[in-house]
């Protein structure tokens, strides 16, 4: 599970992205072709990522009508939706585009019809995509210490891949910025653990997003991360 070729370009993208809701325009055809190719690679293990242009987004999003829909089989773990969806986000950002994950900001009736949703499938989230004047990267996130029990200095002492992975995971987006995860990091592993939050509807998707960021960080230092799902979260070995 969670097998995916991680593009080296995504290592920078994690530190460039932030949610955009007001776009200047939709992506160009050539950009949609690149994203469309990636969607095919992301569509397996019970997940299908599909691009649409047209109605479906609510008015919280202005200036683009392009969005990706993450369709999931009902028996897949929600972390996979986040993992594959965030790969598309990071690729879009690498192309100079901007995005916004949406759990509430889309019309389910239109989207479900567009994807011809089957009884054994669901859509939790879509991702709006377009061009924008990218806002300054200024994420409001929990501190390193709150996140993993180690301050930045101690984390650096633990090792370079650990520092890269946690730094990247720390800036992952989540619904209402709840950051429903804790991170445990050792010599050889990094675990994204479940953290109880007030509104947990998207917590699984959020953790998958965080896992992709952690994997991208570890891969940027030559590691080859693999994931295993456990009772209280997911563990990455490098």
Segment 26-55, which members bind ligand FMN (CB under 6 A)? none
- Minimum Å gap between C-beta 26 and ligand FMN is 18
Segment 70-99, which members bind ligand FMN (CB under 6 A)? none
Please list, in sequence order, all residues whose beta carbon lies within 8 angstroms of the beta carbon of residue 118, skipping any fewer than 6 positions away. Answer: none
- Minimum Å gap between C-beta 134 and ligand FMN is 11
Decide whether 212 or 238 has the Cβ nearer to ligand FMN.
Answer: 212
Residue 14's SS3 state is coil
Decide whether 161 or 181 has the Cβ nearer to ligand FMN.
Answer: 181
Segment 105-134, which members bind ligand FMN (CB under 6 A)? 105, 125
Decide whether 166 or 205 has the Cβ nearer to ligand FMN.
Answer: 205
Decide whether 139 or 159 has the Cβ nearer to ligand FMN.
Answer: 139
DSSP H helices in the chain:
10-13, 29-42, 78-94, 108-114, 144-148, 152-158, 160-170, 203-219
Q: What mask of x and - would describe binding to ligand FMN in positions 2 to 21, judged by CB under 6 A?
A: ----------------xx-x
Tell whether residue 139 is a contact of ligand FMN (CB under 6 A). yes
Contact 174, 209 (CB under 8 A): yes
Query: From CA 2, how far away is CA 236, in angstroms rounded?
Result: 10
Query: From CA 92, how far away is CA 108, in angstroms rounded?
Result: 23
Q: HSE (CB half, 13 Å, CA atoms) of 145?
A: 3
Tell whether residue 205 is a contact of ligand FMN (CB under 6 A). yes
Q: Strand 121-130 vs strand 181-185: parallel, antiparallel, or unpaired? A: unpaired
Query: From CA 207, how far away is CA 78, in angstroms rounded?
Result: 9
**Segment near ligand FMN (CB under 6 A); pick from 25-33, 36-44, 101-109, 151-159:** 101-109
- Minimum Å gap between C-beta 174 and ligand FMN is 5
**Can you give the binding site for ligand FMN, defined by CB under 6 A?**
18-19, 21, 60, 100-105, 125, 139, 173-177, 202, 205-206, 209
């Amino acid at each position: 599970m969670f097998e995916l070729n991680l593009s080296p370009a995504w290592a920078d993208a994690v530190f460039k992205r932030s949610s955009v809701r007001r776009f200047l325009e939709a992506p160009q055809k050539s950009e949609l072709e690149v994203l469309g190719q990636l969607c095919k690679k992301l569509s397996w293990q019970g997940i299908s990522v599909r691009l649409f242009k047209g109605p479906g987004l609510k008015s919280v999003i202005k200036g683009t009508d392009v969005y990706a829909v993450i369709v999931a089989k009902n028996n897949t773990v929600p972390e996979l939706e986040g993992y594959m969806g965030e790969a598309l986000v990071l690729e879009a950002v690498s192309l100079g585009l901007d995005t916004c994950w949406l759990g509430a900001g889309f019309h389910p009736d239109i989207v479900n019809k567009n994807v011809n949703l089957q009884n054994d499938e669901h859509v939790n989230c879509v991702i709006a995509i377009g061009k924008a004047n990218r806002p300054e990267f200024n994420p409001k996130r929990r501190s390193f210490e709150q996140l993993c029990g180690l301050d930045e200095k101690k984390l650096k002492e633990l090792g370079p891949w650990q520092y890269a992975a946690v730094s990247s995971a720390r800036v992952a987006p989540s619904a209402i910025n709840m950051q429903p995860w804790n991170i445990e990091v050792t010599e050889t592993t990094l675990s994204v653990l479940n953290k109880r939050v007030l509104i947990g509807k998207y917590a699984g998707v959020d953790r998958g997003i965080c896992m992709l960021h952690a994997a991208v960080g570890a891969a940027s230092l030559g590691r080859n991360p693999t994931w295993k799902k456990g009772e209280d979260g997911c563990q990455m070995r490098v």
